[in-house]
Amino acid sequence: MREIGHFIGGKTVAGTSGRTADVLQPMDGTVQGQVALASAAEVRAAIENAKAAQPEWAAMNPQRRARVLMKFLDLVHAEYDSLAELLAREHGKTIPDAKGDIQRGLEVVEFCIGAPHLMKGEFTDGAGPGIDVYSMRQPLGVVAGITPFNFPAMIPLWKVAPALAVGNAFILKPSERDPGVPMRIAELFIEAGLPEGVLNVVNGDKEAVDAILDDQDVKAVGFVGSTPIAQYIYSRGCANGKRVQCFGGAKNHMIIMPDADMDQAVDALVGAGYGSAGERCMAISVAVPVGQQTADRLVEALAPRVEALKVGPSTDPAADFGPLVTQQALDRVKGYVDLGVEEGAKLVVDGRDFKMQGYENGYYMGGCLFDNVTPDMRIYKEEIFGPVLSVVRAENYEEALRLPSDHEYGNGVAIFTRDGDAARDFSARVQVGMVGVNVPIPVPIAYYTFGGWKGSGFGDLNQHGPDAFRFYTKTKTVTSRWPSGVKDGAEFVIPTMN
């Protein structure tokens, strides 16, 4: 049985709160470890460590900090396979998908190696007589990240890499469901040359989160998780005077226009709807075919593909997707499928009774497909976060455009069409933060920014890309004059550049 403590001051330390949570192996339901749940005092100890270590790290020149990130990349590459297996065994996703989780995180680390360039300020020579104005970006001090279970490598790295690159110290509070990879990431950063105390991992639940939110030494909090918790963290963090960005849940639509290549659209829906058992914030959970004929063709082509999906343990290289993360998650998703039937949607493919032979205690279900879902149903309004795809039939393009635009969530959306004009109009008008044109999961690459709108995102700056450098730094602007030697005496009128 593994005991997972915290990572404070450059080393792993045992938890002292007396509270722990089970770390499960979703593919067979066994308990593979116990993770410590930090007390407020343990969180405070981590923050004090970070606070003491930060000034020296910030004083290091940015290229030297970037070299730590470079070395970290090499170290992760050297143990890619074992990290991916650790991730898959705690989360439940397949090993190839776990590798993707790590890779999308590393791409942001690669981007952050450009920190010396990205931190450059502005300069105006001669803004007034003998006056130069320049700005500089400085780190905030100690900052924190609170991350979800579904991308235990990618999302911690999206937070940690830019924050460290600009000279902050970091407190990471990863999901208590799969803490193994975040803990290993912290160890690898130390091996890569990060000074002790600059990156700390505190494992825990609400108690640890509240301690972070209320600590006056934590200057910024980045959160990713479900919308109710995002709202809570945003309001409590802001009320305490912190900089806060929170990314929440999603209900991502994919519009299928009558002229779309149906084979491509079906491939895209199957991968984006059911990959990682639908436990992705950018998973497609609503398909919107435009016109009855498109809808009939789509459902006819989708149903056999959903029936043929191969569900398997995370270690099966042939599996399309693995188990859900916990029994509770499985019960919740199956509950939504029951609800959809009650609400009058047509359950075309029912994966509720799927059992994985030899893994009877794992949290498996097969893919489910609903047709004739309508916007008033709860299975349409709420995030299900499982392998369940709903087809909502739209009569025309305008109705299809309205559905994602009017939805409470606004994370990702996609349109499949061969018509450039329709794609362009859709991209411009849809009220969603990330748009794919014939691309089902439009997660922006590392040097653009990631963020949803409406109930999917709180705060005004996105994750990664240039926004991350704005979020984790504060701007200082200097107006300087070097006197020519003539002293005019005191001035009592506000200075202007006339």
Residues involved in catalysis = 281
Q: Which helix (H) or strand (E) holds 406?
A: helix 397-406
Nearest approach in angstroms of CB 34 to ligand NAD is: 16
Task: State which residue, 49 or 456, has the beta carbon closest to ligand NAD.
Answer: 456
The residue assigned the tokens 């609170």 is: 146
How many residues line the site for ligand NAD (CB under 6 A)? 26
Nearest approach in angstroms of CB 346 to ligand NAD is: 26
- Exposed, middle or buried: residue 9 (CB in 10 Å: 0-12, 13-18, 19+)? middle
Calpha distance 201→179 (Å, rounded): 9
Calpha distance 100→90 (Å, rounded): 15
Q: What is the DSSP letter of 445?
A: P
The CA radius of gyration of the chain, in Å to the nearest whole number, is: 25
Q: Which residue is nearest to ligand NAD (CB)?
A: 225
In three-state secondary structure terms, 25 is strand
Member of 22, 48, 205, 350 binding ligand NAD (CB under 6 A): 205
Nearest approach in angstroms of CB 321 to ligand NAD is: 16
Interacting positions 431-490 with ligand NAD (CB under 6 A): 452, 456
DSSP states of 71-107 as a string? HHHHHHHHTHHHHHHHHHHHH---HHHHHHHHHHHHH
Question: What's at 433, amino acid-wise?
Answer: G
Member of 72, 149, 274, 416 binding ligand NAD (CB under 6 A): 149
Nearest approach in angstroms of CB 237 to ligand NAD is: 11
Member of 54, 94, 150, 200 binding ligand NAD (CB under 6 A): 150
Member of 411, 417, 462, 473 binding ligand NAD (CB under 6 A): 411
Q: Are 306 and 369 in contact (CB under 8 A)?
A: yes
Among the residue ranges 112-120, 173-181, 300-308, 391-399, the one whose residues contact ligand NAD (CB under 6 A): 173-181
Nearest approach in angstroms of CB 148 to ligand NAD is: 3
Calpha distance 87→496 (Å, rounded): 58
Nearest approach in angstroms of CB 177 to ligand NAD is: 7
Member of 175, 252, 390, 473 binding ligand NAD (CB under 6 A): 175
Task: State which residue, 94 or 150, has the beta carbon closest to ligand NAD.
Answer: 150
Member of 206, 310, 355, 418 binding ligand NAD (CB under 6 A): 206
Member of 145, 249, 289, 323 binding ligand NAD (CB under 6 A): 249
Copy the structure tokens of residue 486.
């003539």
Establish if 148 lies at the interface with ligand NAD (CB under 6 A). yes
Nearest approach in angstroms of CB 204 to ligand NAD is: 7
Convert residues 360-399 into a mask of x (bound to ligand NAD by CB under 6 A) and - (unbound): -----------------------x-x--------------
User: Percentage helix, strand, coil, to 5, in the chain?
Assistant: 40, 25, 35
E strands in 341-418: 346-349, 368-371, 388-391, 409-410, 412-416
Among the residue ranges 34-42, 104-112, 163-171, 201-209, the one whose residues contact ligand NAD (CB under 6 A): 201-209
Calpha distance 451→412 (Å, rounded): 9
Q: Are 387 and 353 in contact (CB under 8 A)?
A: no
The contact set with ligand NAD (CB under 6 A) reads: 146-151, 173, 175-176, 205-206, 209, 224-226, 229, 247-250, 281, 383, 385, 411, 452, 456
